[in-house]
Chain A
Amino acid sequence: MAVSGRFVLLLALGAVPVVLLGQAYGLAFEALGGWLALAVLLGIVDLLLAGSPRRVSIERDLPLRVRLGQPARSDLYLTNGGRRALRGTVRDAWQPSAGAVTTRFAVHLPAGERRMVSAELRPFRRGERRVEEVAIRSFGPLGLWARQANVTAPGRIRVLPPFHSRRHLPSRLARLRELDGRTSVMIRGQGTEFDSLREYVRGDDVRSIDWRATARRDELVVRTWRPERDRRVVIVIDSGRTSAARIDDEPRLDTAFEAALLLAALASRAGDRIDVIAWDRRVRARVQGQTGAELLSRMVDALASVDPELLETDWSAVPARVREITNQRALVVLLTSLETPGSSRGLLSVLPQLTQRHTVLVASVTDHGTFERVGQRADLEQTYTAASAERALLDIARVSAAARQQGAEVVTGSPADLPAAVADRYLALKAAGRL
């Protein structure tokens, strides 16, 4: 049950008869009692005439997924199954992060009819956003008292990672195409594999002429090469406690997602097979054996609901996880953080196991604020901060050096740069045939 402002006003109007009757006849108490009784009686009548909110059936029409930063429309179909018309307010109780522009709607539902209300959702956080109930407040014809009930009408919408870094994709794909079909002289490396034979055109390197094939035909034939294909790429995203830290107001984990998505998009175009796991002490998300467009949609879907866990990542189990995915030589990309020797000890201790079998790329987000703080030494506080920042940089340098010593590639960058840097390093490795 609920009352309206109109009812409060009605009660307040009782001051007039109380004062008038009290002044004229000394019947103030009687006037008060009469007015209150009248107001309550009207309220009860109103309540009895209000349409039942429990007789309303609710259906939802929601998109299953929406990319973070894009709006979605949430439609609510209300059917009045009762005998009386329902006039009142409906609240769609979305979680705040779903960013519903409006959650309250004024509705008028004649008996037996259906109406639709729709709201725009602008989610501002990745993950699964839910709505469980719809609250309906139904006023009577006088608008004094209302019946109110919460009706269960669950709904959910999955907010996918934004994949901002896809703007880097065209330029990297162009670089990939440049790798394609080059002659061996331009990218002399053992990693390229034989692609096809074609007619010699002026300008081709004479060293790539295939004399045996030329002998079979009447024209000069050169060999062409292409980058190696069908290599395995295993992306391991660290969702442990260090991934919760925000750099440039973006959690490390989200930057890791961006890097993973860009790398996956690039590598799948390059013909490699990509597997992704998000790992801290157990697998939080896994995408395996997908290719093409399906791969990216599966990835965003799987990663959407992964949040940083406040746990220390168990690196000792990572080699086994990678072995589960593939026995071949692969490029293992570890998206984690290299910060202090203490927090990276687990990672450093398993790196040899990984580098023995695979090419390992460790990607870590660094904070540009730290670089800036090193240079700011105006007063004592800033000097101490500079010293502390310097110490942090030295730590990162030590950890990076230790990782390189154990045979891993290390890529660091700010949140904006890291995805592109990882993609570049992948291309470089591919060009060098080190996959």
Chain B
Amino acid sequence: MTVLKAAATAPPSSVTPGPSPSSTPTVRVFFRRWSFWLGAGVFIVIASLVLLLIRGVSGAEGGSDLSTTSAAPTGSKAVAEVLGQQGVTVTTADTLDAAVRAVADARAGGGADGAGGAGGAGSAGGAGGDPTVLIYDPNSFLPVDRAADLAALGGRIVLVQPDIFTLDALAPGVSVTGVVGTPSVADADCALPVAERAGTISTSGSGYRFEGGSGSADAGSSESGAGAECFPAGDGGFSLVQEQRGDSVVTVLGASGVLTNEHTLEAGNASLALGLLGGTDHLIWYLPSAADLPQTGPPSLGALTPGWVTPLVLLLVVVFLAAALWRGRRLGPVVVENLPVIVRGSETVMGRARLYARSNARTRALDALRIGTVTRLSGLLGLPRSAALPEVVDAVAAATGLLPGDLAGILVNRLPRTDAELLDLSHQLSMVERRVQVAVGRTPRSAPPASPPAPPSPPSPPSPPTGSRS
């Protein structure tokens, strides 16, 4: 205390003490303390980046059906890889524009030796420098109304499982016969070299039929609108149909399984795939996507908004974060303090009252009231504490003029069967007490049910400081 007083009288001492110790870690201490978790976090981020990179390169994931980068069972990475090893340049395209550009590039690059490839589908009438274009369009994204662009794809087209609209646009002589029911192995059964070389394939997908211009299908080639049907797949359909129209050769491959990683090794599938697609030096692998769909309707919201809206929104996000930091940063620690329990002294009384009420303990409740009242009455009337009930009843009757029988009923005998009776009896008890108070000459409680009495006046059993014996 004296020390503290001394400090109080001369607080600004000339000797400046060293800085008070700080409980907030410095930056260095912070990094040292959290180095493990920081390191772990950095490691996790780097590891996941590396993993992502590896998976992205391997292309094991994703890609749609017949994608050249998909190693999934329905992908076509195997076929594309083998074609690449055989010297075929495989170019993927996902829009018609890209496909047309790739075709033009291929023509410009190596169109000279395109024709007369090893066993090309249409080696005789093959288009001069045209690359092979594979089109697989299960979602009907192909813009069949852009005839000029489709024509620019050249004359060497392989349609994999096309729908009727695609057929109308590119191979009007071929029609769909239906879905091939049970997969089976089909013989070539035609004169196409690629088909003969393959021998057998496993059928799947859809079946097609060549109807040509003359109505009936006939094998062999004719001058225009000639077609070939190979690999019968039941129900009059074939898995491979080739239509030759002038310079262009459109091959319809119904069995898409021929190209998939899963089935390409079955029967002569691989041979057919390589024969169909490896006929030229360049192969355009065109899988139409949603980007091919024509844009219609009013311009989108993005096109209408000015260019500064997105940066502004970003700025507002940053402002929001800064404001959160501004308001949320606590100045100093949260101070803890043990607080006392708060127990109201009247809780036991209220609790017991609710127990009485819940269990309808009318008799028990009335008993308490009666004992209290009788005790007070005998005190008022000057009876000894040991006075028996009949004596009290007689004394009360004498003092108030009430009938002893009624009094005995109120004070002892009547049982409350209903809540109303309980209320009635308790009121009568108050009434008796009041009348005795009047009779004895004490000021009664003005209105017992309503106003509380002045503390010292009610005669109560645990009399305050008075009345101690020995």
CB-CB nearest in chain B for A414: B455
CA distance A368 to B24 in the complex (A): 53
Which A residues, 364 to 409, have Cβ-Cβ distances below 8 Å to chain B? 365-394, 396-397, 400, 404, 407, 409
Q: Interface readout for A231-273 with B: 1 if CB under 8 Å, 0 if not? A: 0000000000000111100011000000000000000000000
Contact B323 A8 (CB under 8 A): yes
Centre residue among A97, A374, A397, A400 by max chain B CB count within 10 A: A374
Write the nearest CB–CB distance from A257 to chain B, whole angstroms: 14
Would A384 and B323 be within 8 Å (CB), given that A57-B19, A148-B329 are in contact?
Answer: no
Interface residues of B in 321-336 (CB under 8 A from A): 322-323, 325-326, 329, 331-333, 335-336
What's the nearest-Cβ distance from chain B to residue A371, in Å? 6
CB distance A421 to B464 under 8 Å? yes
Contact between B311 and A18, CB atoms less than 8 A apart: yes
**Which residues in B have their C-beta under 8 angstroms from that of A59?**
7, 11, 17
Interface 1/0 per residue, B327-354 and A, CB below 8 Å: 0010111011101111111111110111
In the complex, A142 has a CB within 8 A of chain B: no
Min CB gap A280→B, angstroms:
14
Chain A CB within 10 Å, residue with most, of B354, B371, B465, B470: B465
Q: How large is the interface on B (under 10, 10 to 19, 20 to 34, 35 or more residues)?
A: 35 or more
> Known: A133-B333, A244-B341, A388-B350. Is A394-B20 also a contact (CB below 8 A)?
no
- B422 proximity list for chain A (CB < 8 A): 380, 383
A390's partner among B24, B325, B369 (CB-CB below 8 A) is: B369
Residues of A within 8 A of B460 (CB): 371, 374, 393
- Whether the pair B371, A58 counts as a contact (CB closer than 8 A) is no
A67 on interface, CB distance cutoff 8 Å: no
Q: Interface with B: A19-27, A180-188, A191-199, which one?
A: A19-27
Give the CA-CA distance A149 to B8 in the complex, in Å: 26
Interface residues in A120-141 (C-beta closer than 8 Å to B): 125, 131-135, 137
The minimal Cβ–Cβ distance linking B121 to chain A, given in whole angstroms, is 51
Whole-angstrom CA separation of A196 from B318 in the bound complex: 92
Contact-residue size bin, chain A (C-beta under 8 Å from the other chain): 35 or more
Residues on B with beta carbons closer than 8 Å to the beta carbon of A393: 372, 460-462
A150 adjacent to chain B (CB < 8 Å): yes
Are A75 and B11 in touch, CB under 8 angstroms? Answer: yes
A200 at the interface (CB under 8 A from B): no
Within 8 Å of chain A (Cβ to Cβ): is B312? yes
Contacting pair A31 B342 (CB below 8 A): no
Decide if B462 touches A61 in the complex (CB within 8 Å): no
One of B109-117, B279-287, B445-453 contacting the partner: B445-453
B426 at the binding interface (Cβ < 8 Å): yes
Least CB distance from A57 to B in Å reads 5
Known: A81-B16, A370-B346. A15 touches B468 (CB 8 A): no
Quick check: is A79 within 8 A (CB to CB) of the other chain?
yes
* B20 and A23 contact, CB distance less than 8 A: no
Residues of chain B within 8 A (CB-CB) of A308 are 340-341
- Cβ of A315: which chain B residues have Cβ within 8 Å of it? none
| Segment with Cβ contacts to B, from A87-95, A282-290, A323-331 | A87-95
Residue among A22, A95, A245, A409 making CB contact with B343, cutoff 8 Å: A245
Hey, which chain A residues are within 8 Å of B331, CB to CB? 2, 89, 91, 104, 135, 137, 148
**Chain A's nearest CB lies how many Å from the CB of B11?**
5
Cβ contact within 8 Å between A93 and B332: yes
Given A97-B337, A377-B430, A425-B19 contact (CB < 8 Å): no
Residues of A near B306 (CB, < 8 A) are 22-23
Given contacts A3-B326, A28-B311, contact A424 B465 (CB under 8 A): yes
- Using Cβ atoms and an 8 Å threshold, which residues of chain B touch A372? 452-453
Across-interface contacts of B311 in A (CB, < 8 A):
18, 22, 28-29, 31-32
Most chain B CB inside 10 Å of its own CB: which residue of A64, A116, A388: A388
Q: Determine whether B381 belongs to the interface, using a CB cutoff of 8 Å to chain A.
A: no
- With beta carbons under 8 angstroms apart, the residue of B307, B344, B357 that contacts A380 is B357
Q: With A and B bound together, what is the CA distance between A424 and B465 in angstroms?
A: 9
B312→A383 contact, CB < 8 A:
no
Residue of B nearest to A77 (CB): B11
With the chains together, A93 CA to B369 CA distance in Å?
54
Report the Cα distance A29→B366, complex, angstroms. Answer: 84
Q: How far is the CB of A58 from chain B (nearest CB, A)?
A: 5
- B333, A93: Cβ atoms under 8 Å? yes
Cβ of B350 to closest chain A Cβ, rounded Å: 7
- Asked if B335 and A57 sit within 8 Å, CB to CB, the answer is no
Counting CB contacts under 8 A, is B413 at the interface?
Answer: no
Q: Is A35 an interface residue (CB 8 A)?
A: yes
Closest to B23 in A: A150
List CB contacts (< 8 Å) of B12-28 with chain A.
12, 16-24, 26
Determine the chain B residues whose CB is within 8 A of the CB of A61 once the complex forms: 4, 7-8, 11
Q: Is A56 interfacial (CB-CB < 8 Å)?
A: yes
Cβ–Cβ < 8 Å partners of B357 in chain A:
380-381, 384
A201 at the interface (CB under 8 A from B): no
In the complex the two chains form, what is the Cα distance from A120 to B452 in whole Å?
42
**CA A387 to CA B314, docked complex, whole Å:** 70
Q: CA A416 – CA B418 in complex, angstroms?
A: 41
Interface presence of B315 (CB below 8 A): yes
Whole-angstrom CA separation of A237 from B30 in the bound complex: 50
B 308-321 binary contact with A (CB < 8 Å = 1; else 0)? 10111011101100
Closest residue of chain B to A114 (Cβ to Cβ) is B12
Chain A nearest Cβ from B314, distance in angstroms = 6
Residue of B nearest to A338 (CB): B462
- The closest CB in chain A to the CB of B323 belongs to A8
Please give me the residue from chain B that is nearest to A79 by CB atom: B16
Nearest opposing residue in chain A for B8, CB measure? A61
A206 contacts across to B, CB distance below 8 A: none
Known contacts A114-B12, A404-B468; is-contact A245 B365 (Cβ 8 Å):
no
Of all chain A residues, the one with the shortest Cβ separation from B461 is A397
Interfacial chain B residues near A210, Cβ < 8 Å: none
Inter-subunit contact B450/A378 (CB<8 Å): yes
Measured between C-beta atoms, what is the minimum distance from A190 to chain B in Å? 16
Q: Establish whether residues B353 and A375, one from each chain, have CB atoms under 8 Å apart when the complex forms.
A: no
A-side contacts of B325, CB under 8 Å? 2-3
Is there an interface contact between A387 and B356, defined as CB atoms closer than 8 Å?
A: yes
Q: Are A26 and B20 in contact (CB under 8 A)?
A: no
Which residue of chain A lies nearest to B470 when distances are taken between CB atoms in the complex?
Answer: A407
Q: Are B343 and A12 in contact (CB under 8 A)?
A: no
CB of A366 within 8 A of CB of B16, answer no
Contact B337 A95 (CB under 8 A): yes
Instruction: Write the nearest CB–CB distance from A161 to chain B, whole angstroms.
Output: 14
Q: Are B462 and A380 in contact, CB atoms less than 8 angstroms apart? A: no
Option from B339, B341, B352, B458 in Cβ contact (under 8 Å) with A375: B458
Q: Which of B18, B22, B326, B349 contacts A389 (CB 8 A)?
A: B349
Kindly state whether residue A219 has any CB partner on chain B within 8 Å. no
Q: Are B22 and A150 in contact (CB under 8 A)?
A: yes
A369 to B449, CA, bound (A): 14
Is B146 located at the chain interface by the 8 A CB criterion? no
* Across-interface contacts of B323 in A (CB, < 8 A): 5, 8
In the complex, which residue of chain B has the Cβ closest to the Cβ of A135? Answer: B332
A385-B350 contact, Cβ under 8 Å, with A81-B16, A375-B449, A421-B464: yes
A366-B352 contact, Cβ under 8 Å, with A5-B326, A22-B308, A152-B20:
no
- 10 inter-chain pairs at a CB distance below 8 angstroms, sorted by A residue, are A8-B326, A22-B307, A35-B315, A57-B17, A246-B345, A373-B349, A375-B445, A380-B419, A383-B423, A421-B464
**Chain B residues close to A by CB (< 8 Å):** 1, 4, 7-8, 11-12, 16-24, 26, 306-308, 310-312, 314-316, 318-319, 322-323, 325-326, 329, 331-333, 335-337, 339-350, 352-354, 356-357, 364-366, 368-369, 371-372, 375, 419, 422-423, 426-427, 430, 445, 448-450, 452-453, 455, 458, 460-462, 464-465, 468-470
Closest 5 CB pairs of A and B: A22-B308, A135-B332, A387-B365, A397-B461, A28-B308
A36-B318, A152-B22 given; 13 more Cβ-contact pairs under 8 Å: A7-B326, A22-B307, A32-B312, A104-B331, A133-B23, A367-B345, A377-B430, A380-B357, A380-B419, A385-B353, A386-B369, A387-B366, A412-B464
